[in-house]
Amino acid sequence: MEVMSQKSPNDVQQIFTNKYFYHDLQLRLTKALNLVLQTLVFAGTWYFVYAKTIVDPFYNVGNWAVIALFALIYFLYGRTYDAFVVSLSSVSEKFYSQVLSCLFTDGIMYFVIALLTRHFPRIMPIILCLLVQAVVAYLWSSFSFNWYFKAFPSKKTAIIYDEENDLKETINEYGLGNKFNVQKSIKADKDIVDKLFELKSFEIVFLDNVHSHERNQIIKYCIQHDIRVYILPRIGDVIMSGAEKMHMLHLPVLHLGRYSPNLEYLFLKRAFDIIVAILAFIVTSPFMLCVAIAIKATDHGPILYKQIRLTKDGREFKVMKFRSMRVDAEKDGVARLSTGEDDDRVTPVGKFIRKVRFDELPQLFNIIKGDMSIVGPRPERPEIAQQYNEELPEFAMRLQAKAGLTGYAQVYGKYNTTPYNKLEMDLMYIANPSIFEDLKIIFATIKILFESESTEGVSSGTAIASEVVKNEKSTK
């Protein structure tokens, strides 16, 4: 007991003297402020409008329960859409994420209120509520962005890399130069241990595809000297993230194996796929009819486009899409990746349906049939996959799981994300399969529907991706 009483004050003192404590505390309070403000807007709408219309009026406990339900749903949507991210998003990104979160939360609460009132109440108050929340979202986004970078200047940052890279330029390109002040780049060669003393004055270190032996030495040094580390992983690191932690022989053991989720998950996933695909078809059928008419009316060609793709274990199937390119788009027989808006093979109707992802809707039939899932690695064409595999043999590891309508790489990457990074993101999904992760990806997909950067094409003239993969060997 005496030992514990001596240690406890030191432990508490260490928490408050940690250089990141007040940074993290203020960040949490700022995020909590957003949740409180948005909840207050809804609370006002509830108290002054809808609470009076329910059949059996609530007392205080019931009113608090409705408001708490809003706060919980908004929090979950906010986490999914990164609405509470302060330092890694622009004002516009935070604003968009919060408005989207409020839109879905208010929509759900409107139906909850309809159940309580036993009829559909006036919709205008909830629309006005959303408009006020949008104003609050913009004010909070602007305030939090300006406050954070005034209160916390950019961190002195170093990059340790395995091969020559443009990570510094990428950081600046994404507007993160005001958070990470990159002042040094160090190559992770065999003498890296002798160079670690150079990191002492840095607050942040990025490890870009550094091999495990050198990386482990760097990580241990950084942890010992209270330097925060961001790791851009290698494929092996991503696979390790899905390891099962266990104890064997009185030792800690990590167990790895090929993708083999339990039967309960596979059953729930298949049932979920069928139900969601059928419901999605019913909801989107009017849009699908309009797209079909537009395609037929503009160039009189086929409405649907069927193409051989790969799914689980390399099995081939015919994916169905609304045709977005000219009928003679590949008359020379060479498979080419789209170059986005600059691709002259894409029809005017095709540009629109690609931007809003309507070209993918016929794949709902592939899902019902069982060739695809709602969530999984996007299916590649055999010709393109073969080229990727020649330069990046690990690319075939994405075929451990059934192909999906949407996936981790589609939500967090872009169309022109390199095959190496797409593989890493797909392996992150495969390493930790769960229905919760599927739901998170589905909701996150809605967020990117109108983000043009997620549909950017590859460099003009790229045939089958040989240009895209030519530099991947060096990072394996």
**98-147 confidence digits (pLDDT tens):** 999 999 999 999 999 999 888 889 999 999 999 999 999 999 999 999 99
Strand pairing category for 316-322 and 304-310? antiparallel
Q: How confident is the model at residue 6 (pLDDT cuts 50, 70, 90)?
A: very low
Sequence-separated (6 or more) residues with CB below 8 Å from residue 272: 374, 435, 438
Range(s) of the chain covered by CATH 3.40.50.2300: 155-232
pLDDT for 314 beyond 60:
yes
Buried b / exposed e over 379-397, threshold 16 CB at 10 Å, is: bbbebbbebbeebbebbbb
Q: What is the pTM of this model?
A: 0.79
pLDDT tens figures, 231-248: 988 888 888 888 888 888
Structure tokens at 78: 């906010």
| Rounded Cα–Cα distance for residues 176 and 172 (Å) | 5
Query: Which SS3 state, helix, strand or coil, does residue 276 take?
Result: helix
pLDDT for 2 beyond 80:
no
Determine the distance from the C-alpha atom of residue 388 to the mean position of all C-alpha atoms in its chain, rounded to a whole number.
Answer: 23
User: What class has domain 155-232?
Assistant: alpha beta
What integer pLDDT is reported at residue 156 of this predicted model? 92
> Which helix (H) or strand (E) segment is 447 a member of?
helix 435-448
Sequence-separated (6 or more) residues with CB below 8 Å from residue 439: none
For the chain, what's the residue count? 476
CB 14 within 8 A of CB 50: no
Nearest by Cα to 256 from 283, 236, 286: 236
Identify the burial level of 165 via C-beta atoms within 10 angstroms of its C-beta, where 0-12 means exposed, 13-18 middle and 19 or more buried: middle
Q: How confident is the model at residue 453 (pLDDT cuts 50, 70, 90)?
A: low
Q: Which residue has the higher pLDDT, 453 or 441?
A: 441
What integer pLDDT is reported at residue 66 of this predicted model? 92
pLDDT tens figures, 212-271: 888 888 999 999 988 999 998 888 888 888 888 888 888 889 888 888 888 899 999 999
pLDDT tens figures, 379-435: 999 988 888 888 888 888 889 999 999 998 888 877 667 788 888 899 999 988 888
Sequence-separated (6 or more) residues with CB below 8 Å from residue 435: 265, 268, 269, 272
What is the signed CA dihedral for 279, 282, 286, 287, rounded to 10 degrees?
Answer: 30
